[in-house]
Chain A
C-alpha cells in the first residue's frame, strides 16, 4: 500500500513537472534581439549554404568583407516575394 502511494506520488510529480519542462524546452536559446541599426557592424554568422547546384557548404558572412552583401530574410521556400 505504502509503496503504491510512493509510486503514485512520483508519477503525479512527473505529470505536474512535465508542462513546465516542455515550456522550458520551447524557450528559444537565443532571445529575440532588436534589429541591428544602420552603422552597426553586421553580426557575423555561419550557416549551411545552398545554390541551384545543391548544398554549398558553410557560408560565413565575414568571408564577404570587401563586397557589398544584401542579406534578404524571407518566410519560406516556394512562396512568393
Chain B
C-alpha cells in the first residue's frame, strides 16, 4: 500500500480523475487507523465476509482473505484491465498498471 501512496501523483493522477479504492476483509476501524498512521490519501472499503471479493474472484476461501487482485474500471463502468494476482514486488507491474490507468482515463 506504501507503493500506491508514494506513486499516488503519477499512478493515480493524484486522485483527480482516478479513484483508488483499496478493499480487504478488515474492519472499518482497522482500515481507518492504518490509513491515518500511514497517511494514505485514498479510500478503503471493508469487505468483511468477503462478499465483494467472491464476486470479483479475489476471495481466498482457505485464508478467508481477499487475494491481491487489481481491476481498472473505466469511466463507462466496464473492466478495462485486471491483474490476478497483482505482482506488487515486480516494478513492471506498476508500469503496466500506469499504462492501463492512463488508457482508461484518457
Contact = CB atoms under 8 A, between A and B. Distances in A.
Given A42-B71, A68-B105, A69-B21, A28 B61 contact: yes
A50 B32 contact: yes
Contacts of A32: 54, 57, 59, 61
Interface residues of A, number: 47
B21 A39 contact: no
B51 interface: yes
Interface string A49-81: 111111110010110111111111111111011
Among B50, B52, B70, find the residue whose CB has the most chain A CB atoms closer than 10 A: B52
Interface of B: 1-4, 12, 17-26, 28-32, 34-36, 39-47, 50-59, 61, 63, 65-82, 84, 86, 88-89, 97, 101, 104-105
